[in-house]
Amino acid sequence: MKNIPTFADFHIHPNLKSFNSGHPKPKLNMWEFFEHITPSTAAGKFAVNNSKGVAKFSQTNLYNLMEGNVRVVFVSLYPMERGFFDIRGVPKALTSRKGLDDLTSITMGYDVERIHYLRQRKDYFRELKQEYDYVKEQEGASPCGKYKFKIVNSYSELKDIAENHPDTIAAVLQIEGAHVFFDEDMLSGTLNKREMKARLKQNIISVKEWENPPLMVNISHHFYNELCGHSKSFNFLVGTGFLNQKRGLETGLTGLGIKAMKELLSNSNGRRVYIDCKHMSLQARKEYYNWVRSYNYLNRNDNIPLIISHTAVNGFKSMTGSLIKPDNDKKNANSQFFNWSINNSDEEIALVNHTKGLMGFMLDKTKLGGGKFMKDIRRITDEEKMKDAYMQMFWDNIFQAVKAIGHQGAWESLCIGSDLDGGIFTMEYYDAASKFPALYDDMYSWLRRTKYQKALWYGMREEELLDRLFYKNVMLFCERYF
């Protein structure tokens, strides 16, 4: 097996915890390793005991990325949504304000002072600009002087750093959740529809005028944002009702959301910002897919790709099949794949390939594997057998996508979008960016040993498949659209 020149990650959060490490100013920079607070309250201890699979340390600080040779990174900006502070159904003994602050700090990795501020804040757009400024400040040399961090603005810049500057991390910006375009006036409820659309357009154009505008934006995230319905995303700790996702769940795009989509995709008001379909409700995704198909048909020389930056398969053949049963624990109980509609059906995956888009596989074991898999993995005590089980589960997701597409070109549409530092339940042995070489090696070794689904390799060798997943496809996508 040869060494690949670098790894690429299509969706990570190296800035999320460090930016929220203090208030009014962050205490930490993006290079530093740090751990979440030690719980001092019953709620904090409850959070630790009920989120054991969520890493309580910085998984993607920049030194960690360099250690893992993850040097092409899509850095996600994300002002936390208000819905995370509407915690319900917690036992009375855990509901003191300090307890709830501890609970949030333990699970998210934010400083308690910052949490106090976020409970009261009224302006997502201002926070977005502050987070952008913070990430910009991180550019340049590392504290030790050996490495560098650079936000890039084009494929040519990205390629040059990846190929010629092994001491440098090249970052492409993205935004997770279009709630970020809502400023204080928009959130106040005092603007009429016309004024809301005008302000939304103004704020989107303002972001497009940044020195380093984002390449893509998720229209929705975990909670309803007046633009687009979202998919149910929470299970395990928060899936029992602690956080309420009901408002707007599985609804479509609103008129305001369509306005946001068109302004982002427009080439006439600045560089196009692509839509990342992750977290959109299935209804909204259907509406967006139809719009993209129509646009691409009418504009043959201006293709818009479908993008799903961090996801997994749900095992259903069609979008309709994905929601025949509602997304709940019963639906997923005996499933090998995580079969909620936040994951993607064969039909959707084929559409991504048809538009020359890209789909990133996340490292969240609870989104890769369904209830049956999670029950099976908990019974395994031998480390090597557990690694093998994870490898089969991860490859099963990938090969399901290849089967859905049905031809060799499938291997240009898939990559890694880990979502590390995004509060996910990681596989134990691959819980930080520094573990990317181990993940690559284990995937290679397992595939070489088992020759699993070899007909779907389409004549390629193990290292060719892995190099596409871990690096080449992200670069190909950027060559086409960046």
Residue 78 belongs to a domain: yes
Residue 349 belongs to a domain: no
> How many other C-beta atoms are found inside a 10 Å radius of the C-beta of residue 250?
18
pLDDT at position 403 over 50:
yes
Q: pLDDT by residue (tens digit) across 47-95?
A: 777 677 788 889 999 999 999 999 999 999 999 998 887 766 665 555 6
pLDDT of residue 241: 57
pLDDT of residue 41: 74
| The one-letter amino acid at 186 | M
Residue 54 belongs to a domain: yes
Residue 180 belongs to a domain: no
Residue of higher predicted confidence among 111 and 243: 111
Helix, coil or strand: residue 426? strand
Instruction: Give burial (CB, 10 Å; 0-12/13-18/19+) of 2.
Output: exposed
Q: Which pLDDT band holds residue 103 (cuts at 50, 70, 90)? A: confident
Summarize the confidence of residues 165-184 as an average pLDDT.
97
pLDDT of residue 384: 96
Say how far apart CA 361 and CA 358 lie, in whole Å.
10
Q: Which of 365, 323, 325 lies closest to 236 in space, CA to CA?
A: 365
| Strand bridging mode 216-218 / 274-276 | parallel
Residue 17 belongs to a domain: yes
Q: pLDDT by residue (tens digit) across 432-456?
A: 999 999 999 999 999 999 999 999 9
Residue 438 belongs to a domain: no
Q: pLDDT by residue (tens digit) across 261-314?
A: 999 999 999 999 999 999 999 999 999 999 999 999 999 999 999 999 999 999
Range of the domain at 145: 1-169
Q: What is the tally of structural domains in the chain?
A: 1
Contact 361, 314 (CB under 8 A): no
Residue 64 belongs to a domain: yes
Residue 152 belongs to a domain: yes
Contacts of 161 (CB under 8 A, 6+ apart): 71, 150, 152, 168, 170
pLDDT of residue 4: 58
pLDDT of residue 5: 63
pTM above 0.75, yes or no: yes
Helix boundaries (H) for 141-188: 155-164, 184-188
Say how far apart CA 426 and CA 430 lie, in whole Å.
7
